[in-house]
A and B are shown apart, each in its own frame.
Chain A
Amino acid sequence: MKELLWTIPLFPFLGALLNGVLLRGRIGKKAVTAIACGSVLAAMVTGALVIGSYLASAERRLPAHYGFDQEVYTWIPAGLLTTAAKGIVDFKVAMGFFLDPLACVMLFVVTFVGFWIHVYSAGYMAHDDGYQRYFTYLNLFMGAMLMLVLGNNYLVMFVGWEGVGLCSYLLIGFYYKEEFPPYAGRKAFIVNRIGDFAFLVGLFALVANFGTLKFSALFPAIAADPALALTPYHFHLTVAGFAALCLFIGAMGKSAQIPLYVWLPDAMAGPTPVSALIHAATMVTAGVYMVARSNVLYQLAPGVSVFIAVIGCATALFAGTIGLAQTDIKKVLAYSTVSQLGYMFLAAGVGAYTAAVFHLVTHAFFKALLFLGSGSVIHAMGGEQDMRKMGGLRKYLPTTYWTFVVGALAISGIPGFAGFFSKDQILSSVAGRGLWTLYVVGLLTAGLTACYMFRAVFLTFHGDFRGTEEQRHHLHESPPVMTLPLQVLAVGAVVAGWVGIPAALTFERFDLNVFEHFLDPILGKVKGLVPGAPHVGLGVELLLIGLSVGVAAAGFGIAWSVYGKRGLAGGEAWARRLPAVQRVLVNKYYVDELYDATVVRGFWATARGLFRFDSSFIDGALVNGARNLTVAVSLVSGVFDKYVVDGLVNLVGWVLGRFSFLFRRLQTGYVSNYALVLALGMFALVCFYFLFQRG
């Protein structure tokens, strides 16, 4: 059964082919929906069967087992290559797929969340003209994402990585007739490209040194003999450090970390289910998955890992504070996503890869849920996204309300909900490694998270309705095709955390952390960055859990006292009290403006300078210079021709003309003269005849 692994990405690709090419414009919306959702469902079912058969297989229990490798065909037979590790090797890249516990987790999350978002989209996009185009892109995305997750080497992963980037671009700019979405799409694409460039450089470094990109060949080799990986390389880094840093810069772009996070908030210009699927649950977490997958490299590069942790932590806090002041409901969720991704990188950076992946999974559920909930709200409000014009929607959208609250509770880390377990695992891992500064920032961010999420809940669902009468008239709960995915994901947002219950909560009597044991074979052998136990003692851990719950509760309390009791007015009162802070946060720390002034302007200035160089030097000096030179030379040559060459010709004619006067006299033009000559000639002939006859 597990041999069907390679067919999993094929289903959504097939769906995209049918909807996008073969049956484009020929079938109705029902058939489009059936193809799109059916192909993802097929991928999900096949994925479940493959996971089941893989987990049941006997070879998995062998100590030397690394994962289930399946190569479909040789994709790039590159030929001979000189590498640092093995000398000359025959470098080949296969179109191959790979299944290990980490891939199983990702496969499940991507297909499960993806399927329910497809179902939701059928309701959300029902009245859109580009229905078939939308599902083509969405299916294409699923295929690319599955390739990314299931690739057995970095290059197949990179194909998926670029594929999801392309689909992200296409779907952000889905409403291409408006002005902003295409701009946002381009921005996302270009910012991602910066990261992808580094990613490629990282791959080149790996190929040049180890001669392979295949996970099951590369990582065991490095783990067995880290000598080569630790030799010095460019920029005072080791080989592993250089590759790890480059790959992480790629992840910075894809997973929206400082300084390449700027595209994600603008990406909200796409349809809301897209924000849920691509910009919350799956694509943006690809960077975290990639770092976890490459954990062998990152363990050998502690400096880079610390850098990742610091970047992640800074991003978490930075984006969290911006989220506090946004008024667009999707922007709040977008900054929340950036912040939560920062959390995941914080965990990955300190070596708690299991915690990072765990948070990735729970986040996929509750953030997809929150986005879909916000989509339901926007749907009811007729496209309105400004929370200042909402309020009191609890009465009109009951299902959306309670599922949204479940999502908010989950992300805030309220005990029992999914986010609590994963966030607690991250914070305790950070604390366990003695990185207290990062811990405090992380804790603060947890408080911020609860605060901005409940601010959104209170502004949207509580208080009085602040929109127009017409909007109030149209308020309605979404159809079941949209509320069912909300309910399913709400259940997920609760129970997804239960697979990773920390031992401390059972006072270390039971070992209920199934998730950690599941990922142990690949992520469990991680040594801590800082010497010491990755887990703190029982008492301290319970204290930390209490602390994080307390901070979340405090965040909730602040949101309640400001927005819950007094609605929008409470927030505005605070904004008046701290105008400078308000202005900076609403304008997102002026980062876009900073980039515009430095990078974008710099780019434009460089382009303009190059244009001037082109027009003045290349066009002016070289091309026009060559022209002028040619004109000058041909002038000289023309004068030479005219006076020397033609002069000679004319001289010949002139000389002939001068000397022809002797003969010219003969030609009198009178016929009589010619006749006379004729007669004389005849006379001469006759005389001649007689003379010779006699003589």
Chain B
Amino acid sequence: MLAVTTQHYLILSFLLFAIGLSGILLRKNMITVLMSIELVLNSVNINLIAFSYQWSNLTGQIFSIFTITVAAGEAAVGLGILIAFFRLRDTTSLERASELKG
């Protein structure tokens, strides 16, 4: 039976991060992008908790709770912007949000 070490957690965290990042970069739907951002944040959380477990130091776990809280706020703001944008453009496609084009 393979013991679950910190390394395994790091690999899981990396995979989650890679999936999240690719989702952010490749998907055109804002909701998907927001969900991908959550994935990235959670991969970081896993990292923090893994190291916290390894060093028997609770600081990392407390930090991850902060991250979840901030992520909740971020999701609320992000969804608010999304709804406002949807009302304006009748779509959630990121390609239509190009007002800042120089």
Which A residues have a C-beta under 8 Å from some C-beta of B? 663-672, 675-676, 679
Q: Is the CB of A672 within 8 A of B25?
A: yes
Q: Is the CB of A665 within 8 A of B102?
A: yes
Which B residues have a C-beta under 8 Å from some C-beta of A? 21, 24-26, 28, 33, 94-95, 97-102
Known: A664-B102, A666-B102. Is A672-B24 also a contact (CB below 8 A)? yes
Nearest residue, chain B, Cβ from A678: B24
Q: How far is the CA of A477 from the CA of B91 in the complex (A)?
A: 118
Contact of B99 among A664, A666, A669 (CB under 8 A): A669
Q: Is the CB of A679 within 8 A of B25?
A: yes
- Give chain A nearest CB distance to B24 CB in angstroms: 5
Q: How far is the CA of A325 from the CA of B3 in the complex (A)?
A: 155
Residues of A within 8 A of B98 (CB): 668-670
- Give chain B nearest CB distance to A684 CB in angstroms: 15
- Give chain A nearest CB distance to B69 CB in angstroms: 23
Known: A676-B25, A679-B25. Is A671-B101 also a contact (CB below 8 A)? no
Nearest residue, chain B, Cβ from A675: B24
Can you report 28 residue pairs joining A to B where beta carbons are below 8 Å apart? Answer: A663-B102, A664-B102, A665-B102, A666-B102, A667-B100, A667-B101, A667-B102, A668-B98, A668-B101, A668-B102, A669-B99, A669-B100, A669-B101, A669-B102, A670-B94, A670-B95, A670-B97, A671-B33, A671-B97, A672-B24, A672-B26, A672-B33, A672-B94, A675-B24, A675-B25, A676-B25, A679-B21, A679-B24
A-B contact count (CB 8 A): 35
- Give chain B nearest CB distance to A681 CB in angstroms: 13
Residues of A within 8 A of B24 (CB): 672, 675, 679
Q: How far is the CA of A663 from the CA of B99 in the complex (A)?
A: 16
Residues of B within 8 A of A668 (CB): 98, 101-102
New A-B contacts (6) at CB < 8 Å, excluding given A672-B25, A672-B94: A669-B98, A669-B101, A670-B94, A670-B97, A671-B33, A672-B24
Nearest residue, chain B, Cβ from A682: B21
Q: How far is the CA of A394 from the CA of B21 in the complex (A)?
A: 139
Nearest residue, chain B, Cβ from A667: B102
Q: Is the CB of A671 within 8 A of B94?
A: yes
- Give chain B nearest CB distance to A587 CB in angstroms: 100
Residues of A within 8 A of B100 (CB): 667, 669
- Give chain A nearest CB distance to B78 CB in angstroms: 11
- Give chain B nearest CB distance to A660 CB in angstroms: 8
Residues of B within 8 A of A670 (CB): 94-95, 97-98
Residues of A within 8 A of B28 (CB): 672
- Give chain B nearest CB distance to A450 CB in angstroms: 119
Q: How far is the CA of A666 from the CA of B100 in the complex (A)?
A: 11
Residues of A within 8 A of B33 (CB): 671-672
Q: How far is the CA of A627 from the CA of B95 in the complex (A)?
A: 61
Q: How far is the CA of A234 from the CA of B102 in the complex (A)?
A: 95
Residues of B within 8 A of A671 (CB): 33, 94, 97
- 5 A-B pairs closest in CB distance: A667-B102, A669-B101, A669-B98, A664-B102, A669-B100
Q: How far is the CA of A664 from the CA of B102 in the complex (A)?
A: 5
Residues of A within 8 A of B101 (CB): 667-669
Nearest residue, chain B, Cβ from A673: B25
Q: How far is the CA of A668 from the CA of B97 in the complex (A)?
A: 10
Q: How far is the CA of A517 from the CA of B86 in the complex (A)?
A: 128
- Give chain B nearest CB distance to A672 CB in angstroms: 6
Q: How far is the CA of A676 from the CA of B27 in the complex (A)?
A: 12
